[in-house]
Chain A
Amino acid sequence: MTDGLKQTPLNAAHKALGARMVPFGGWEMPVQYAGVIEEHLAVRERAGLFDVSHMGEIEVRGANALALVQMLTTNDAAKLADGQIQYSALCYPDGGVVDDVTLYRSSATHFLFCVNASNTDKDFAWMQQVHAGSGLQGVTLVNRSAEYGQLALQGPKSAAILARLTTTPLESIRYYHFGRGEVAGVPALISRTGYTGEDGFELYVPAAEAGELWTRLLDAGAGDGLQPIGLGARDTLRLEKGYALYGHELSPQISPLEAGLGWIVKFEKGDFIGRDALLAQKAAGVPRRLVGLVMEERGIPREGYPVFAGERQVGTVTSGTMSPSLKTGIALALVESPRAVLDSELLIGIRDRKLRARIVKPPFVKK
């Protein structure tokens, strides 16, 4: 099971904590420690620590860094100030999604993309291809993924825990902003971001020092009920907030407009890859839309389950789970646009039954 899988710097630490390890996107990662529900609720109520060292980091530097970034991404990177972060997408010319990313601006000539682990090599090759085709001089792309370890500290107690290990004034780092400083003596990029919908931080550190930081954070937060959190709870936490996961809600076959990410597609910024196709799709109306569904009968929707209006299939579940916070089944589903009507009822095919579900606007769990 572990053959050929990459390991993060924390692999041995996870096993020592009794984690159940699984293959994920080419990596051997912890899916759970104490249990998915316990870990999920720990993040909502207190704090959790995630190893996200598998995520990729790609640096763009040089006088034309912004020009290349603008060509590659759908959101408007010109709006970023130094120390600010933006959620964005890389698209193919046909509007399908290469990846969804967060973009960090250190300066006008220095950007960092954080990309999905399993897409890192694909994204880097795509960026190099676009760069080569652009003829832009004075810009370099470097895949720094192996150099970084990344830990996510998430939950309402995150700031209090982190403050014990750093002199960096955390109150000055607002949501979707970052700073630099030492955490437990480790030089870190401290990013106020996450994938849980809670307050929290993502800490980018030298890979060799990730283990030290992991241990120090767990110790510093023990009194607050800080727990290590696996990929199982990472998925239920993001799904309760309606966040897209690449390979589920986003793919080369799903455009950001269909996935409800029109807010990160800025046509007015000028040309970018995929602009023409997305503009045409917007003008014609998207054929499918991503909706949130809450079960009205007992049953758990899962990825790939069909969605019906009466007898006719009108869509497919892209992600589904039992919500640990709501204790009911929830799902994201791509459905024919005319059926994507808020508060209306659809049926989800679960084995040999069709169970009622209601369309809601995510997040499923509000603050």
Chain B
Amino acid sequence: MDFPEELKYTEEHEWVQVEGDLVIVGITDFAQDALGDVVFVELPEVGAEVTAGKAFGVVESVKAVSDIYAPVSGTIEEINEELPDAPEVINTSPYGDGWMIKIRLSDPGELDGLMDAAAYQAHIAEEH
């Protein structure tokens, strides 16, 4: 399984890529594997406010429904418009074409609470 060093991670298995005061968010390779075939994604509207630790959307596999949690607080700047028509790219490219949303940070200090790749892998090992 792949956990890029340049990303930050949450305990709920989202990844975060920081680009200035914007962050890109998706779910990790571990999360997509655990879900199985992703067949549906529900994302918020551009301009919506999200709060760190609160659900911002839903991802569904054939068998299960899972919430996706905002790693940081802020405003939705952009969503991946391709996902509703091709949710399977979350399985094939969780860190690339499977990205979900871009958030404009309201509190950059929240980034300090996220894990690096090594800490996230330790978290997975401990949880499972």
Contacts and interface: CB of A to CB of B under 8 A. Distances in A.
Contact of B58 (A32, A35, A351): A351
Interface string A297-313: 01110100000000000
Given A298-B84, A351-B58, A232 B40 contact: no
Interface residues of B, number: 12
B60 A322 contact: yes
B39 interface: yes
Given A298-B84, A302-B65, A232 B60 contact: no
Contact of A324 (B42, B62, B65): B62
A335 interface: no
Interface in A12-41: 20, 31-32, 35-38
Contacts of A31: 63
Q: Is the interface of B mostly helix, strand, loop or mixed?
A: strand
Contact of B40 (A35, A37, A322): A322
Contacts of B58: 351
A120 interface: no
Nearest to B58: A351
A35 B84 contact: no
Contacts of B113: none
A interface bracket (residues with beta carbon within 8 Å of B): 10 to 19
A232 B63 contact: yes
Contacts of A321: 62-63
A263 to B, nearest CB: 30
Nearest to A22: B63
B125 to A, nearest CB: 17
Nearest to A231: B63
A36 B40 contact: no
Given A31-B63, A298-B40, A321-B63, 5 more contacts: A35-B37, A37-B62, A232-B36, A298-B84, A351-B58
20 contacts: A31-B63, A35-B37, A36-B36, A36-B37, A36-B61, A36-B62, A37-B37, A37-B39, A38-B37, A232-B36, A232-B63, A235-B63, A298-B84, A300-B39, A300-B60, A300-B65, A321-B63, A322-B40, A322-B60, A351-B58
